[in-house]
Every structure is written in structure tokens, then in C-alpha cells.
Chains A and B, each alone.
Chain A
Amino acid sequence: MALLTYALVLLMLCSALAVQLSAPRLGEGIARISVAASAITFALAVVLFSWRLGTGDTPLLSIGLGLFSLYVDALSTLMAVLVSAVGLVVHVFSVRYMQDDPAYTRFFVLLDVIIGVILLMVLAGDLLTLLLGWHLLGVCLYFLLNHDTRRPAANRFAFWTLFTHRVGDLPLLAAIALIYHAYGTLSLPAVFEAVAAEPDKATLLGLPLAETLGLLVLLAAFAKSAQFPLHTWLPYTMDGPTPVSALMHAGIVNAGGFLINRFAPVFAETQSVLLLAFAVGLITTIMGALMMLMQSDIKKALGYSTMGQMGYMVMECGVGAFSLAIYHLIAHGVFKATLFLGSGAIIANARKDPNIPEGEIYKFMVERKVPHPPLSWVVFAGITITVPLLIVLAAHQLVDEGFLHHQGALILLLFGWITGAQTLFFVYKIGGERPFSVLLYVALSFAAVILTYVLVGHAFDALLYPDPALREALYRAASVNATTFALVLVLLMVLISAGWLVVFRSEAAQQPLTRRFRELHLRLYALLSREFYVADFYSRLAEQMLAASRRLNAWLRWV
């Protein structure tokens, strides 16, 4: 098994070397080497995952050095399957997509290297190897995004990406240094045992060690997973080739969720740091969703959509639903890779034929005709508010009767409810001839999604965190005072319901809120169109720093 695991990591790196060496002889035929290596890697990952599933063992493999140990547990093998699957799809897609590109060989070399590096990162058995993979990931991505070396925009946004990733490397380095000092080991299983044995250990500054480590790990994850305000690199990096966008949005950006899960035993010993993950994830989700709505470019809209999804993933960790975050990142990876790889063809086809079927959506979206509401707004508002709530409650009740004890589950339930209600509101807004049929289809689809989500979420819980005590500890670490929580939850539900009622009423009266509060709406629109000035702020700050550096150098005569 050790040989198989090391082969899994090394195969793509060897493929990169083989591609580079055989390029003069094979030309574009080098893609065959790369795709074959990618397919074998995927097969090896599946074998390793199945082996782990069958035996339940979690061996720590080593080659006798302090570095390069590999840890074969459920999380690492599952992530290896995801990474190698996305890698295979991207490889196969790139064979034709990148044809006639002058840097065809370089592209495949870098693609192979980055897959190898990600596999090293997810399978790392010691913290230094994890740091190596974490760090090299940003570097490889920089060169892939800079594929067209002539374009200043590609270079500029690749720099943003690398710099943000490097910002995320620093807290991880600090966390690892603190761990090494506190426990004298870098081996992951040994560190987790030590943290569990001494949960109350403090740092030199007197801060609780677990809490400090949790905070540092979160900061590292925020940068890699494009959490607000470290998100600017993600939506702007569309100058890279489409397969790179797919890889980035389906795989690389998930690294933050992986890292938080990797350190789950540390988070189980924390008191309040997961609240930060919840807050940052929530802000990122809202920001990403809002900014996605402002985009006219399909790839940039997908970029902001990823940002919102990553926010949701981090938020799931923030409420203690760690395994759900892994399911989310896998599901998101699959659909986002599909969307990115299909976006080019959709743009090309839409130029010839918009292909929007005639009907309610066409009238609403293209002709901008707002039909009369199909039902009394009171009835529809009642359906919108109650049906999704019943569906999410029933789905949870069916799978886990004790879910009401977990604050995190209730928060996710709240979000499920809001999402369902939003979808039903859209049905009301577009009107149509057969509103009840559409309503029924939407409700059934929603029920199917929620039920799958809950079922698979529980299966992932059993797979990734088979120890119920650890699961409970994670939920506990993410909890707040029960009374406060209940009050806030009820208040939120009342506020949201009232909000829906106001929106329905204004829509029914043909007086949308955007018209009534026009001034505020325009201001918000302007703010959103400049994306809250975050990117502008960073650009200005960078310019100021460079100017200050030049002045200082001139003053000190460059010596």
C-alpha cells in the first residue's frame, strides 16, 4: 500500500518530466502521456480509497526522512479521488481545447505538476510536507494563470493570486512553528493525539494554544478559499485558459475547506474561534452572491458564484458541520467544473442563437414583461414561507431525529429555508399560465436536493468522523449560549418572514421596493458595481507602497 500511495503522488510529477523530455519528438502527442498518467492516477486514487474503506486502517507512511510522510485516512483518500477526477476531466478537455497553442507542452507540464502538488498536499502526513504542498500550489497556479506570457492583465491578476496565497502561507507557517514548539513533532496523528491530551496548553503570550492554532489555520484557509476580504484574486483570474479556471474553481479553491477539516481535532478543542469562520463565511456568501448578480460576463459571474459557495463551505465549518463542508466542496467542484468547461461553448453558441425557449422565462428575462401575479399574494407568500420550511424540517427529521440539538444544523436549516423560499418567490414573480404545476416541480426538486444533501451529509459524517465524540465536540465548539441562540434564531426567522411579506406585497401592488427606495438602490448598485472598492483599495495601497519604497531607496542612495 505504501508503494501505491507514493506512486499516486509521484506519477503526475514523473509525467511532467516525461512530457518535457519527449516534447521535441512527440509534439502535441505529449498530451497522451499526460492524459494516461492522469487516468492511472485516478485509478490509483480509487483503489486507495476503496482499500481504506475496506480496512478502516489509517497508516502513516514514511520514507525514512523527516519530510514526505503520507497519511492515508478517509479525508486524504477522498480528496485524492476528487483531485484526480477533476484532474482527469481537465486533462481530457485540454487536449483539444489547447490544440495549436504555442505553449502546449508547458501547459501540460504545469498541469501535471500542480495535480502532483495538490495530491502531495492532501496526502501529507506531516506538517512540513503539508506546508510544502500548500505553498507550491500557489506558485504553480501563478504560472498556469500566466499562460499567455504577453498579456499584462494575465500577469497582473496572476500576481494577485500568488500574493494572496502567500498571505495565506504565513499563518500556516506560524501555526506549524507553534505546534512544533509545543509538542515537538510534526507528524499529523501525533499532533492530534497531543492536542487531545493537553487541550488547555497555552502559548508563550498566554493565549490558549488550540484557539491560536485554530485562528491561524482559519486565516490560511481564508486566503486559499477566497474569503472576504481576501477574495479579489478569484473572480479576476479569468485571463488564464478555461481548463485552468475549471481546475481552480473545482479543485484548488477547495483547499481551505480541506485544511479546516484536516485540523478538525484541533478545532474540537477550541471555544469560540469557529464563530469567526461562521461570520467570515456568511459575509463572503452574501458578497459573492450579490456581486455575481452584477456581472454580465459569464466566467466572472461563475467566479463570484464560487466565492459565494466557498463562503458557504467555510460557514458550514463555522457551525461545526465539517463533513458537510467536504460534501459541499465535492458537489460544488463537480458542477462548477462542468459549468466552466461548458461556458466557452455556450458563449460561442449564444452568439449564433440565444436559444432561450419561448415561455414565461423568455417574457420575463428578454422581453422584460412582468405578468400579472397568478394568485393572491397572501396565499403565495404563505406557500413560499411554509413549504420550504416543512421540507427542510421533514428531511432532517427523517435522517436524524436529534438534529434539533445541534445549533449548526439549525442554522443550515435556516439557509435551506431561505434558498427554497427565494426559488418559490421567483416562480411568483415570473407568473405564467400554470403556476401550480411550476410550484409543484420546484417544491419536488427542492425536496430532492435537500433530502440528498441531508442523506449524503450524514454518510460523509460517518465516513470522515466515525467517532461520535469528535462530531459532538465539533458542534459544541461551534455553539454559543443556548438562550441567546434561540432568541437570535427566532428573531431572524420573524425578520425574514416579515421581509418576504413586504416584498410580496410591494410586488403585488406593482410597486417594487427598488422604485420606492430608488436613491438607496442606486447607491447600493454603484457600490456593488465597484465591488465595494476592495480591489481598488488594494491597488491603491500597492501603488503607495511601491512609491514609498522608491522614495526610501532614493533617499538612501540604493545601498
Chain B
Amino acid sequence: MGGLLGSMLALPCFVLAGLCLPLFPLSVGVNRLLQRQPTRAGDRLAQPGTKALVLVTLPLVGVTLLAAGRWLAADDGGWLVRGFALWGGLTSLLYAFRLLSARDGQIWIGQLYTSALALVWVGVAHDVPPLLPALGLALSLLPLWFLLDGLTRRFGIARTGLYPGLALRMPRFAALFIVAVLVAVAVPFSPGFFAIADLAFGGVGANALLTLLPLSLAWLLWTWAGINLLAGIVFGEPRVDLDYADLDGRAVLGHAGGMMCLALFGLVLVERML
């Protein structure tokens, strides 16, 4: 394919991909889904497991649609892809900036997901294969997703500032929570870190400024937001009117094992990148 017709056909593919690798305002859908509260008993879409599945499968669907779009556009779709890359970069920055004030766990994850996955577009415009970075960025959110769900089950809501000081009352949970937040904001050795490096190393050759600016600024804002999350949950003076129940040994091992697997996946990403 190729030519003007190919580009025209690629456009809907890219727009659909923009639902999965979210581009504002198409990102509203995935954010609504992640924030969905059960409307009735057995509302499967509101189940944490379903949402976790969505976090992992949406990038795969998005990458497939992207590949289809790129095939349709062939060599003539450069302008189209560059446009989407700019859109992706701006979306990432918009959501990273909004993330600074997010206090609810589900909103936080949804906005970080949007900010992170939108960056894949920046790499696509510069011929960085999108599959592994997209997976790396999405998988990095899973540990935090499950721990935030754990907080919801314990306290009824996962929100910063409501029950600070968990480091003193639930030290095991707090330790895992810290690592999960760090993994989510792409600290080494999380796959997110290597995905960022992959996008930066791959994209810088095509356009240093358009690649590095959104990547760097979004990454910086994620850190700030991550620290806000930790400050309101892990640190501070604990409340005395709440019942605290720390994780048992098996749960700790399960979470820690999952994070180790993610670190190994990160190493795979590096080896593919270099």
C-alpha cells in the first residue's frame, strides 16, 4: 500500500490505536474505564482483575493497529506519523502535569498509563519498534495497581493523605509499595526505565528535540507525582483510629517475585536495545 489512499486508510487505524495508546481526548475512554466503580453486583468491568487485563492488553491492540496503519501508509505516511508523534508527546506532557494533583489511586494509575503509553508514539515516528517499550511501560504499572487495590480492600479507598504513615504500621506493605511506585515511575531496573531509554536512544537520531523533550519532562513530572503518592501514604504520622493489617509472608513473596520478573524483563529490553 502507500500513496494518498494508503495514508487515508491508515488514519482510522492510527485513531483507533490512539484509543489504546491513549491520545487526548481519546484517552478519556481508558481513564473512565480505569476509574469505573461497580454499578451493580457482578459488574465485571469494574473488577480490579479486568482492569489489570485492560492495562496489559490495550497496548498490544494499540501496537497491532499501529503496525497495520504503518503498513497501509507505507513510506508516504511520514507526515501522518510525525503528526501523531507530536500529539503523543503533548498528551504525555498534559497527563504528566495533571498527575501532579491526582490523589486517588485509580485516577493516578489511569493518568500515568496515559502519559506513559502516549510516549510510544514519539518512538514510532522515529522507527523505534513499539511492542517492547509499550509492554515495558504498561507492565511497570501492574505491581502498583495490585497494591492500590489492596489498599482499597483494606481502607475502602486508595487515596493519599487519608491514612499516612503506613511505613510504621504496615512496614512490609510500605516497602513493597515504595518499590512499586518506583517501578511505575520508571526508576532502574524497571522495564519502564529501559523503555524510556529505548525510546530516547532510538528516537534521538531522527529528531533530538522532539524525542528528548517530552520524554524528559514527562519522566521528571512522574517522579514528582510518585513522591506525592509516597508522602501521603507511606510517610507521615499514622492515624490511631484505624485497624492496620500488614501483608503476610506469602503475599510479600508473590509481589516481590513479580517485581523481580519485571526487572528481568527490563534486562531483556536492554539486550534487545543494544
Contact = CB atoms under 8 A, between A and B. Distances in A.
Interface in B188-216: 188-189, 193, 196-197, 200-201, 204-209, 211-212, 215-216
Interface stretch (B9-17, B53-61, B234-242): B234-242
A115 interface: no
Interface stretch (B72-80, B146-154, B217-225): B217-225
B144 interface: no
Interface stretch (B42-50, B100-108, B131-139, B155-163): B100-108
A178 B203 CA distance: 10
Contacts of A559: 27-28, 31-32, 35, 110
Given A159-B227, A177-B200, A181-B201, A549 B100 contact: yes
Interface string B22-44: 00000110011001000000000
Nearest to A155: B235
A549 B197 CA distance: 27
A173 B200 contact: yes
A174 interface: yes
Contact of A205 (B35, B178, B209, B236): B209
Contacts of B235: 146, 149-150, 155
B98 interface: yes
B243 interface: no
Contacts of B28: 559
A163 B182 CA distance: 13
A215 to B, nearest CB: 13
A136 B187 CA distance: 8
A558 B204 contact: no
B37 to A, nearest CB: 13
B167 A163 contact: no
B270 interface: yes
Contact of B165 (A150, A180, A549, A553): A150
B273 interface: yes
Contacts of A550: 101
Contact of B220 (A143, A149, A166, A553): A166
Contacts of A404: none
Given A66-B270, A135-B188, A559-B28, A150 B236 contact: yes
Contacts of A162: 223, 227
A186 B28 CA distance: 40
Given A149-B167, A549-B98, A558 B107 contact: yes
B248 interface: no
Interface string B226-254: 01000100111100000000000000000
A415 B15 CA distance: 63
Size class of the A contact interface (CB-based, 8 Å): 35 or more
A149 B101 CA distance: 22
Q: Which of A149, A552, A556 has the most CB of B within 10 A?
A: A149
B223 to A, nearest CB: 5
A67 interface: yes
Interface residues of B, number: 52
Nearest to A212: B208
A178 B211 CA distance: 11
Given A173-B216, A549-B101, A163 B227 contact: yes
B200 to A, nearest CB: 4
Interface string A129-154: 00110011001001100100110100
B204 A178 contact: yes
A357 B37 CA distance: 73
Contacts of B107: 558
Nearest to B110: A559
Interface in A543-559: 545-546, 548-550, 552-553, 556, 558-559
B204 A136 contact: no
Given A149-B165, A150-B168, A173-B200, A139 B182 contact: yes
Contact of A149 (B98, B193, B234): B234
A143 B226 CA distance: 13
Contacts of B31: 558-559
Interface string A518-555: 00000000000000000000000000011011101100
A66 B273 contact: yes
B145 interface: no
A66 B269 CA distance: 11
Contact of B188 (A65, A132, A176): A132
A552 B208 contact: no
A456 B75 CA distance: 61
A135 B187 CA distance: 8
A162 B226 CA distance: 11
Contact of B236 (A131, A155, A167): A155
Given A139-B187, A159-B227, A553-B102, A65 B220 contact: no
B97 interface: yes
A17 to B, nearest CB: 12
B197 A173 contact: yes
Interface in B108-136: 110
Q: Which of B167, B189, B196, B274 has the most CB of A within 10 A?
A: B274
A43 interface: no
B223 A549 contact: no
B267 interface: yes
A177 B187 contact: no
A105 to B, nearest CB: 10
A170 interface: yes
Contacts of A348: none
A224 to B, nearest CB: 15
B270 A128 contact: yes
A204 B274 CA distance: 21
Of all A-B residue pairs in the complex, the 6 with the closest CB atoms, nearest first, are: A66-B274, A549-B101, A559-B31, A177-B204, A550-B101, A170-B216
Given A139-B182, A173-B200, A549-B101, 10 more contacts: A66-B273, A131-B188, A135-B187, A142-B227, A143-B178, A146-B235, A166-B220, A173-B215, A549-B98, A556-B98
Interface of B: 27-28, 31-32, 35, 97-102, 104, 107, 110, 165, 167-168, 178, 182, 187-189, 193, 196-197, 200-201, 204-209, 211-212, 215-216, 219-220, 223-224, 227, 231, 234-237, 267, 270-271, 273-274
20 contacts: A66-B271, A67-B267, A142-B227, A149-B167, A149-B234, A162-B223, A163-B223, A170-B219, A170-B220, A173-B216, A174-B212, A177-B200, A181-B205, A204-B205, A546-B101, A549-B100, A549-B101, A559-B28, A559-B31, A559-B110
